[in-house]
Structure 1
Amino acid sequence: MSSRDTGTRNTGLSPSGLKAHPPPEAARRARRFGSFYFAEHVLRSMRGYGWTIVASSVGTPVVYLFAMGIGLASLVDARAGNQGIGDVSYLTFVAPALLVTAAIMVANEEFSYPVMAGFKWRRIYHGPNASPLSSSQIATGHLMAVAVRLIFTCGIYFLIMMLFGAVPEATGWLAAVVAVVCGLSFGLPLMAYAAGIEEEKGQFPMVMRFVVTPLFLFSGTVFPLDSLPMVVRWIGWLSPLWHGTELGRVFSYDYAEPVWLSVVHVVYLVALALAGWAIAKRRYTRRLGK
């Protein structure tokens, strides 16, 4: 053993020169701040595709707002006599829906394959679970990290909406908050579903094809929900995307809606997120056994 190694062992310093906590203190900190430690781990792992996150956070709103809010909007506004939909331009109408959709797409990405990889393929949950971290802290840390990405993505999206002139009301920034909540209300039930999958047999592509896509088409995103026939309108009523979009429009351009309905939107989104979170934690505990 080298003199350097001996000195490091005797002084409690790591090779980098940082003082290490004694094992009991390290365990105490892990039990107390374990969720933050695991969230840091997930966020650091996101650096591997960090430029993809940045590029999609900037490129997606630019492309969609230009295509839907300017390209398609020119046709809609012209046909409506420059009144758009509901006395606002089509760009203003569709922008909150695109913001909420972006949040749901991020949630679909981060709460599907990464969750299953933590249990099965990369097994990144098992190492922390062998430490003083509990399974609930691991699940919470994953949630916290994804929430940070949602805040980043929705914040960038909202700023680009402002550059496009799609947010006439001062309360429009609350639409970004709604989008984050909506992303979690969709993502946490998906997290619970992913945590219960033992074998991957194409379940996540099916979620994208048979859940996410229909929600986008039948949730009053690109046209009002009441323009759909009643036989499919119920999809929108059950969709977190519709509730988030309607609430986002209330904040973005003072969309006329009864107060009781806005309260229903908030309660529905929060209840869906809490229910998904409760099931997810239970499944993490069952699979990790701690």
Structure 2
Amino acid sequence: MSGTVVDGGLAAAGRVDHAAVARSSRAWGWWFVAEHRIRAMRSYVASAVIIGLGSPFLFLIGLGVGLGLLVDANQGSQGVDGVPYLVFLAPALAMAGAMQTSSQENTYGVFGGFKWFPMFFAMNGTPIGPAHIVLGFQVAVLVRVLVSLVAFVLVMMLFGIGDPLGALLLLPIGLLMATAVGFAVMSWVSTQTEDRGQLSFIERFVVVPLTLFSGTYFPLETLPAFLQWIGWISPLWHAAELGRAALYGAPLPAVMLLVHVGYLVLLAAVTCALSIRTFRKRLDK
């Protein structure tokens, strides 16, 4: 695997220095896993690029421009949150796209690594351990998420939506949210040993409801009080609020900034630990 350090490649006797290989794997195992996954993604890179470039256009034109005309006409000069609906909607759509991509990769990619193409077991038979696999896999997912986020930001700049520098801040915000979502999905999927259709539940009963009830298309406070709790526990709502503050300066008290960032970091850390624990149990049997 590229990047492996072998203290000169071959020992004097013409044999590989296995101790050096093991040391390198223990230090850089996460990157070897990420590299393997990124190379595997090449099989669907064309569709990923088309979706990554096409989705922002379709969503922003269909929802932002089409629906936005009706919303802005109804709201007058106030728009939504004091800005045109397209500006209000754009950062939340970018975050929703990142959430969906991270969720999909961590659903079928993780399950496949155990069941359909048991590469995780093969990796675990080397000096690469469960923690390397969990972290490396997530790094590879973030690479794909970054591509989709960059495409979304470029389209936003093309439409002249918000502040260009603020739009760039959507990249780290989206990656943080994708990390939290990715580890959360991974921590559950890694416990599943058979596919009886339950994997599709994540998209239907988690991703879609969170997209609808996280203040994506309208401010969260417009929902009935008994539904607002969905947004409070949703990584998407926290990321969307950060994105709106970055893109057009939506009011965000310092305490809420800490709450949004802290929630995403805490969720990522806890579910990362859970993922490593589950991977270790399954791979070390």
Q: TM-score, normalised by structure 2?
A: 0.92
> Any idea what SS the aligned residue of 2:154 has?
helix
The CA deviation string for residues 55-99 of structure 1, in whole angstroms up to 9 with x for no partner, is 111011111011111111111111111431122110100001000
- 64, 71, 76: which one aligns with 2:71: 76
> Which residue of structure 2 aligns with residue 88 of structure 1?
83
Matched, 1:256 2:260: no
- 35, 38, 45: which one aligns with 1:43: 38
> Which residue of structure 2 aligns with residue 187 of structure 1?
182
Matched to 1:250, the amino acid is A
- 278, 286, 289: which one aligns with 2:281: 286
> Which residue of structure 1 aligns with residue 145 of structure 2?
150
Work out whether residues 91 and 240 of structure 2, in 8 Å CA contact, stay in contact via their aligned partners in 1: yes
In 2, distance between residues paired with 1:218 and 1:135? 35
Work out whether residues 118 and 124 of structure 1, in 8 Å CA contact, stay in contact via their aligned partners in 2: yes
Larger Rg belongs to: 1
Shift of 1:167: 2.0
> Which residue of structure 2 aligns with residue 221 of structure 1?
216
Work out whether residues 99 and 176 of structure 1, in 8 Å CA contact, stay in contact via their aligned partners in 2: no
What RMSD over aligned residues (CA atoms) do the two structures have, in Å?
1.8
- 120, 133, 140: which one aligns with 2:135: 140
Matched to 2:276, the amino acid is K
Matched to 1:103, the amino acid is A
Range with bigger deviation, 102-111 or 126-135: 126-135
Matched to 1:219, the amino acid is S
The share of aligned pairs that are identical, in percent, is: 38
> Which residue of structure 1 aligns with residue 92 of structure 2?
97
Can you give the 5+ residue segments of structure 2 that lack an aligned partner in the other structure? 1-8
Number of equivalences: 275
Shift of 1:27: 2.2
Can you give the 5+ residue segments of structure 1 that lack an aligned partner in the other structure? 1-10, 14-18
Shift of 1:104: 0.4
In 1, distance between residues paired with 2:173 and 2:15? 42
